[in-house]
Amino acid sequence: MINNFQGKTAVLTGAASGFGLECARIGAKLGMNLVLVDVQQDALDKAAAEMTASGVQVMARRVDVSNALAMEQLAADVKARFGAPHLVFNNAGVGAGGLVWENSVADWEWVLGVNLWGVVHGVRLFTPMMLEAAKADLGFQGHIVNTASMAGLLTPPNMGIYNVSKHAVVALTETLYQDLHLVSDQISASVLCPYFVPTGISQSQRNRPADLAADKPTASQLIGQAQSDKAVGSGKVSAADVAQKVFDAVANGQFYIYSHPQALGNVQSRMEAIVMGNNPPDPFAAKPEVGEGLRKALREAKA
């Protein structure tokens, strides 16, 4: 929970587009020092120029969040320049789909590297720094926000690799929240669970590293990509809307942040099935035509 953002420091990964960029814009308006982290240099340069022009202090770093040594260097640079950050937004993420057995080892390493290990590194490096600052200053307030997804609360088919990464982020963040509250009243955490919002995530392959290059896409992966493009592109809630929800949650000490609360009916039916010991429910019960379309496309592709 942070009552006043003026003069505080925010570290934002995935800061050159989507939620990260929109949160940086809000942070700049609130007078925060901004640490912008992204893997795409041209977009990062553009974001850094925009934030600098607004009159706030900016540090921009091109960092692969899955790289432990690079993240350790980032944390050291942040501490040297600004001290302990007050807001850490572990937001960098990539998307990938397809039938779960068709994902290659490189697919798993890439998606888990960014979506999970990127969050792990942000938590393990900045939390101790924030706790140390809180111990030295009873007025210090800190908050960590990790970007998961509604796919961290649901198990939609044909996107298992993404689901796994985001479920892990939800579990990590819920545990972080509980752990923090054992040791400090000054630092807390939130998890962001967006649904389909127009960001750059459906085009994540643009930043995939060469050493984890994709194999020729399978039919299910191509179908998954097309579905993702359509769903994300048609989203009515903007990245800017979600960014405001993030700042509101940090100010109010709210843990779960949803872009589409109306999608929680699916989460409820899943949780009820778990409690009752029933088989997983049809994820397309509300939109059977979508499920039938996916089933037909996959079976035709395998014919």
Say if residue 288's pLDDT is above 90.
no
- The structure's pTM equals 0.93
Identify the band that residue 254 occupies on the pLDDT scale cut at 50, 70 and 90.
very high
Mean pLDDT across 205-211: 70
Q: Categorize the per-residue pLDDT at 249 as very low, low, confident or very high, splitting at 50, 70 and 90.
A: very high
Asked if 97 and 224 touch (Cβ cutoff 8 Å), the reply is yes
Q: What is the pLDDT of residues 62-119, one digit of tens each?
A: 999 999 999 999 999 999 999 999 999 999 999 888 999 999 999 999 999 999 999 9
* Catalytic center residues: 162
3-class SS of residue 42: helix
| Helices and strands, counts by H and E, the chain | 10, 7
Q: Residue range 270-288: average pLDDT? A: 92
CA-nearest of 9, 13, 10 to 118 is 13
For residue 20, give every residue at least 6 positions away whose Cβ sits within 8 Å of its Cβ, in sequence order, or none.
12, 13, 14, 36, 38, 89, 91, 92
Q: State the pLDDT at residue 33.
A: 98
Model pLDDT, residue 7: 98
Lowest-pLDDT range, 25-34, 199-208, 266-275? 199-208
pLDDT given at position 198: 64
Place of tokens 């643009």: 206
Local structure of 134: helix, strand or coil: helix
Instruction: Please determine, looking at this structure, whether the domain spanning 9-261 carries the CATH number 2.60.260.20.
Output: no
Name the residue with tokens 């140390």: 132
Say if residue 235's pLDDT is above 80: no
C-beta separation of 270 from 154 below 8 A: yes
The residue ranges of every structural domain in the chain are: 9-261
What confidence score (pLDDT) does residue 221 get?
A: 86
> What band does 283 get if pLDDT is binned at 50, 70 and 90?
confident
Strand ranges (DSSP E) for the chain?
A: 9-13, 33-38, 58-62, 87-90, 142-147, 187-193, 256-258
d(CA 14, CA 89): 9
Can you read off the two tokens belonging to residue 183? 């040791």
Q: How many CB atoms lie within 10 A of CB 101?
A: 8
Strand order in the sheet with 256-258: 58-62, 33-38, 9-13, 87-90, 142-147, 187-193, 256-258
Identify the weakest region by mean pLDDT among 164-173, 180-189, 285-294. Answer: 285-294
Give me the mean pLDDT over the 165-170 stretch.
98
Name the pLDDT band for 199 (thresholds 50, 70, 90): low
